[in-house]
Structure 1
Amino acid sequence: MSEEQDRASKTEEPTEKKIQDALEKGNVPVSKEALTFSSIVSILAICFLHISHGVTGLAGALERFIDDPAGIALHDGSDATSLMHAIAAASGWFLLPLVALLAVGGLSASFLQNRPRLVGERIKPKLNRISPKSGFRRLFGEQGWMEFGKAIFKLAIIGFVIAALFFFDAHRVVSAMYSDPSALPELLLALTVRLLTAVCIATILLVIVDIIFSRSHWRKELRMTRQEVKDEHKQMEGDPQMKAKMRSLARDRARRRMIADVPRATIVIANPTHYAIALRYVLEEGGAPVVVAKGKDLVALKIREVAEINAIPVIEDKPLVRSMYDKVELDYPIPPEFYQVVAELLYLFHYNRNNPVGSSAGSGLS
């Protein structure tokens, strides 16, 4: 019951990561009917391309052994070895194309369904493969009933094809009983080719349906619960709570570093409580005033507190600080549009005979 509930809870389509993990472990969708179909096509190709002249060549090679066995010299073991080598060579040349065509057909059916990959996980022994419970579920589950239905369909199709073939060719089979025996191989080959061709044509639809079903069943088996999707997202993107905590720690470190730079400021522009911007301008350093600190609310109050402790002038200009706040960046010079007004403030609070920086500020920024 728990397994049924577990399957029912897997309502989400598999993610790309889940699919890639399955492929890397060798869990790929494979249509068995496509492999069977490729074998039938390979046998059909063998009948067309090889059987006729292959059998003729093999018969010619073995003709001497059949027609005149007494003429074969077998005086010692080496003669017997040579004879066996000759028979093996003749048989090998006949069987090699058969094996090659069958191998090519089987590999092609596999490679066309999935990209070839070497996976050691597939050959590891697993106890669930010999579990009676798992075997019972495979036999009587959805896939088992599908395999049973395909077997019934194949049996019906092949039975119908054989019956139809012998019905239409019954006269040829009967007349072959009274014909020259040497014509029988050609007749059998023709009947075999017709039978295999008919079976291939009849099972094409089954192969297409099985390929679609195998891929659909494979994706269904990979479905995930919503919790699994969330856990995978956390694993790939990081825990949102942890990321938020790390961002908070980073902001705290940046805020402490910024507050530590306030004593380097030349002037602080603020409104009574909400905003504060600390600027540094030293003539010898060149360039425009640089923002060394900025903040709102509690951070703004802290900037003002540190500025007052270090005797840094604090100018309350609500319109200016609000217009500057979103346009200035920490550790960057102020935009040119604020040069004039900031130069006037610097000139106002720093101009005297003992402060050449202040006396040059107006001309340097205007």
Structure 2
Amino acid sequence: MADEPDKESKTEQASEKKVRDAVEKGNLPFSKEAPILATLVAMLVFALFFAYDSIVRLGIFLAMFLERPHEWSLATSADAISLYQIVFLEIGRAIVVVMALLVAAGVGASVMQNMPRLVGDRIIPKANRISPMAGWKRLFGIKGFVEFLKSVGKVLFAGVFLSFALSDVHLRLLEGMLMLPSAFSMQIRDIVVDLVLGVVIAMALIAGVDLLWTRYHWMEELRMTKQEVKDEHKQAEGDPILKARMRSLARDRARQRMIAAVPRATLIIANPTHYSIALRYVREETAAPIVVAKGQDLIALKIREVAEEHGIPIFEDVTLARSMFKQVSVDSMIPPQFYQAVAELIRIIQGNRKAPKAGTSVS
């Protein structure tokens, strides 16, 4: 098996076909940081617009539940199930919004990067995906080490950013201890919002860089060698040798069809050895003579040979044959400038003049 081309030899940009094939196989650039950023944004939205009401409502329910336990009957299993349903419903109401936001954020982050598509090759089981050795190499190989360094760098960057953004959080907590419980809850909410906002800003910078890097790395991985570009061009345009062979076969078939049509001709106009034009004229069929065959040199001689075999009159006229050969097309009527000359020859055949013997030449 030939070795894969190294990166140094991949000097050409990926072609549209290479990119299209990669997309169809599911090989798409994907930033892992974008879904994380979307999740954090969803949490920020929840903290800003939904968290306070949900927490207050849940707090009131739990306070009532814990302060007045005698109001909840547990005499039977039905009572226990009913209580469980009530508690579960209240907790569900508190978290359903945040769960919906997280799901929408995750799906949206993936869709915005690449439209979803079903790729069968991606879901076919492969041994290297479950191989412990392959997994070990992914985790502790060079790529795994680079990913580890990236994760450490992200944590350090976010930590430094947050340390500046929340430098006064301890003072705000001390102030909150002197507030009413309701006001202190708002203070806690504001601190959480600032915390999430700081992480979102830091993550937005990281995700932006990662998106650009992912796209750049993807295009670099798809780069092609000069030989790959040539091979793809041959596939797109067709192998020149094969195309030449196909053209040759097409010309041969056209000649065979043309020679097979000569017996239908009414007359042949020829330059003694170089050109032959076979014409068919039947008044009921067409308004003017039709060219059923024409040829030069060997083809011209073959047309004359077939005409002689079938008793078709041959008229030798050097000037007319040369002129007509350049201007007429097979299966088309002759141009008007040749009407008079050809009409004279047809009259000869029809008996206005003495017709030549079949297969003989008249000059």
TM-score by length of 1: 0.84
SS of residue in 2 equivalent to 1:269: strand
1:277 paired to 2:253: no
User: Which one is further off, 329-338 or 204-213?
Assistant: 204-213
**Residue 287 (structure 1) aligns with:** 287
Q: 1:285 offset after TM fit, Å? A: 4.1
Q: 1:275 offset after TM fit, Å? A: 2.1
Q: Is the 8 A contact 1:129 1:135 kept in 2?
A: no
What amino acid is aligned across from residue 33 of structure 1 in structure 2?
A: E
Matches within 5 A, 1:52-131: 52-130=52-130
Question: How much identity, in percent, do the aligned residues show?
Answer: 48
What amino acid is aligned across from residue 338 of structure 2 in structure 1?
A: F
Partners of 2:228 and 2:190 in 1: how far apart? 58
Q: 1:255 offset after TM fit, Å? A: 1.2
Partners of 2:245 and 2:232 in 1: how far apart? 20
**Residue 163 (structure 2) aligns with:** 163
Q: 1:134 offset after TM fit, Å? A: 7.3
Partners of 1:90 and 1:230 in 2: how far apart? 66
Q: 1:195 offset after TM fit, Å? A: 2.0
SS of residue in 1 equivalent to 2:315: strand
Q: 1:333 offset after TM fit, Å? A: 1.3
Q: 1:280 offset after TM fit, Å? A: 1.7
**Residue 260 (structure 2) aligns with:** 260
What amino acid is aligned across from residue 136 of structure 1 in structure 2?
A: K
**Residue 151 (structure 2) aligns with:** 151
**Residue 328 (structure 1) aligns with:** 328
Matches within 5 A, 1:343-362: 343-348=343-348, 351-352=351-352
Partners of 1:271 and 1:310 in 2: how far apart? 19
Partners of 1:348 and 1:76 in 2: how far apart? 122
In structure 2, the CA distance between the partners of 1:143 and 1:287, relative to structure 1 (3 Å rule), is farther
In structure 2, the CA distance between the partners of 1:17 and 1:181, relative to structure 1 (3 Å rule), is same
Partners of 2:81 and 2:200 in 1: how far apart? 43
**Residue 31 (structure 2) aligns with:** 31
Q: 1:75 offset after TM fit, Å? A: 0.8
SS of residue in 2 equivalent to 1:331: coil
SS of residue in 1 equivalent to 2:287: coil
TM-score by length of 2: 0.84
**Residue 246 (structure 1) aligns with:** 246
Partners of 1:276 and 1:180 in 2: how far apart? 112
Cα offsets for 1:181-215 (capped at 9, x unmatched): 65443222211211222232233332222112212
Q: 1:34 offset after TM fit, Å? A: 1.0
What amino acid is aligned across from residue 118 of structure 1 in structure 2?
A: L
**Residue 16 (structure 1) aligns with:** 16
Partners of 2:184 and 2:122 in 1: how far apart? 47
**Residue 359 (structure 2) aligns with:** none
Q: 1:151 offset after TM fit, Å? A: 2.6
Partners of 2:134 and 2:116 in 1: how far apart? 31
Q: 1:157 offset after TM fit, Å? A: 2.7
Q: Show structure 2 runs of 5+ residues with no match.
A: 356-363
Q: 1:286 offset after TM fit, Å? A: 4.7
Partners of 1:339 and 1:209 in 2: how far apart? 78
In structure 2, the CA distance between the partners of 1:182 and 1:130, relative to structure 1 (3 Å rule), is same
Q: Show structure 1 runs of 5+ residues with no match.
A: 356-366
1:299 paired to 2:299: yes
Q: 1:142 offset after TM fit, Å? A: 6.6
What amino acid is aligned across from residue 151 of structure 1 in structure 2?
A: S
Cα offsets for 1:308-333 (capped at 9, x unmatched): 33343333333333332232221221
Q: CA RMSD in A?
A: 3.0
In structure 2, the CA distance between the partners of 1:84 and 1:294, relative to structure 1 (3 Å rule), is same
What amino acid is aligned across from residue 74 of structure 1 in structure 2?
A: L
In structure 2, the CA distance between the partners of 1:339 and 1:353, relative to structure 1 (3 Å rule), is closer
What amino acid is aligned across from residue 257 of structure 1 in structure 2?
A: R
In structure 2, the CA distance between the partners of 1:162 and 1:208, relative to structure 1 (3 Å rule), is closer
Q: Is the 8 A contact 2:348 2:354 kept in 1?
A: no
Matches within 5 A, 1:171-320: 171-177=171-177, 183-229=183-229, 232=232, 239-320=239-320
What amino acid is aligned across from residue 98 of structure 1 in structure 2?
A: V
